[in-house]
């Protein structure tokens, strides 16, 4: 299990004690006789017991705990944990699509295959896999898209939608990138010579680093269906893009929606 820093959870202390409004961040709250925290600023109210349980579940999400195991640890129904996980994942899915503008500067492009290769179920081949197209701005964010087919047309559509024209692109020798030079400067990275080119900027190590980060997290979740995969992928993209910040705090914000992301 991946554990988070305890200090990251400190931001939840006032919410857990019922001193601060989870929806707007105001301290002008009062406790009702029925155990609710009522906000005098935004006039929303919430059961403190329920809020505390949801925050505990969000801690587990932050720590990448599988839902069934967290349910056991907290002695709650697995459905309760799953509901919170799904709600946050859906919110993260939309937030990642809305965040930031177009990628710019030096951009690494690459494709990867995920899933479809579970033990004891051989012979499925690439059919069960999800194809992901990834765009990474160096020293910046990553953007991912699950695609049906790796056609030049489809790749160019995403490149045009998600990157600024005139950027500097780094890709492998895949033919789908052939028309890229009409959109910006295009460097083709030869995989056999990656180590030679380490001193130059001609590599796609950044996006490859993201693929291993994603595979590490998915391994932790043990088998994600192809249907649910896009949702998990966006969660990972969000974690990666905010990895230098207090992710737990961000999850609280996105989940309760009290501050726009």
Binding site for Zn ion (CB under 5 A): 21, 23-24, 26, 39, 41-42
Taking the complex as a whole, how short is the minimal distance between the CB of residue 99 and Zn ion, in angstroms? 24
Q: Which is nearer to Zn ion, 19 or 41 (CB)?
A: 41
Q: Are 108 and 201 in contact (CB under 8 A)?
A: no
State how far the alpha carbon of 249 is from the alpha carbons of 14, 17, 61, 122, 135, in Å: 13, 16, 12, 41, 26
Q: Which is nearer to Zn ion, 26 or 52 (CB)?
A: 26
Taking the complex as a whole, how short is the minimal distance between the CB of residue 46 and Zn ion, in angstroms? 10
Taking the complex as a whole, how short is the minimal distance between the CB of residue 181 and Zn ion, in angstroms? 53
Q: Which is nearer to Zn ion, 39 or 252 (CB)?
A: 39
Q: Which is nearer to Zn ion, 226 or 249 (CB)?
A: 249
Taking the complex as a whole, how short is the minimal distance between the CB of residue 27 and Zn ion, in angstroms? 9
Q: Which is nearer to Zn ion, 42 or 146 (CB)?
A: 42
**DSSP per-residue codes, the chain:** -----GGGGGGGHHHHTT-S-TTT--S-EEE-TTSEEEETTT--EEEHHHHHHHHHHHHHHHTT--HHHHHHHHTS-HHHHHHHHHHHHHHHHHHHHHSS--B-SEEEEEEEEE----TT--S-GGGGPEEEEEEEETTS-EEEEEESS--HHHHHHHHHHHB-TT-EEEE-S-GGGGGGGGTSEEEEPPGGGTTGGGGSS---HHHHHHHHHHHHHHHHH----TTTHHHHHHHHHHHHHTTTS-HHHHHHHHHH-SS--
Taking the complex as a whole, how short is the minimal distance between the CB of residue 259 and Zn ion, in angstroms? 11
Taking the complex as a whole, how short is the minimal distance between the CB of residue 51 and Zn ion, in angstroms? 12
Q: Which is nearer to Zn ion, 2 or 30 (CB)?
A: 30
Taking the complex as a whole, how short is the minimal distance between the CB of residue 44 and Zn ion, in angstroms? 5
Q: Which is nearer to Zn ion, 100 or 257 (CB)?
A: 257
């Amino acid at each position: 299990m991946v554990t988070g820093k305890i200090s990251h959870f400190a931001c939840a202390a006032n919410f857990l004690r019922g001193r601060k409004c989870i929806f707007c961040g105001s301290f002008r709250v009062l406790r009702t006789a029925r155990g609710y925290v009522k906000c005098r600023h935004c006039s929303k109210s919430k059961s403190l017991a329920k809020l505390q349980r949801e925050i505990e579940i969000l801690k587990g999400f932050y720590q990448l705990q599988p839902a069934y195991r967290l349910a056991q640890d907290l002695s709650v129904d697995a459905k309760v944990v799953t509901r919170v996980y799904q709600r946050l994942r859906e919110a993260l899915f939309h937030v990642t699509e809305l965040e930031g503008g177009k990628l710019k500067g030096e951009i690494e492009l690459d494709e990867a295959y995920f899933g479809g290769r579970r033990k004891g179920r051989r012979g499925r081949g690439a059919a069960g896999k999800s194809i992901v197209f990834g765009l990474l701005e160096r020293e910046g964010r990553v953007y991912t898209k699950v695609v049906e087919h790796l056609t030049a047309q489809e790749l160019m559509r995403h490149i045009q939608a998600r990157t600024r024209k005139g950027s500097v692109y780094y890709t492998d020798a895949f033919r789908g990138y052939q028309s890229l030079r009409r959109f910006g400067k295009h460097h083709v990275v030869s995989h056999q010579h990656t180590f030679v080119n380490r001193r130059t900027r001609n590599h796609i190590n950044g996006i490859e680093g993201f693929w291993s980060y994603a595979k590490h997290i998915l391994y932790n979740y043990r088998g994600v269906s192809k249907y649910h995969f896009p949702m998990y992928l966006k969660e990972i993209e969000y974690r990666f893009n905010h990895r230098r910040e207090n992710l737990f705090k961000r999850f609280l914000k996105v989940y309760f929606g009290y501050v726009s992301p």
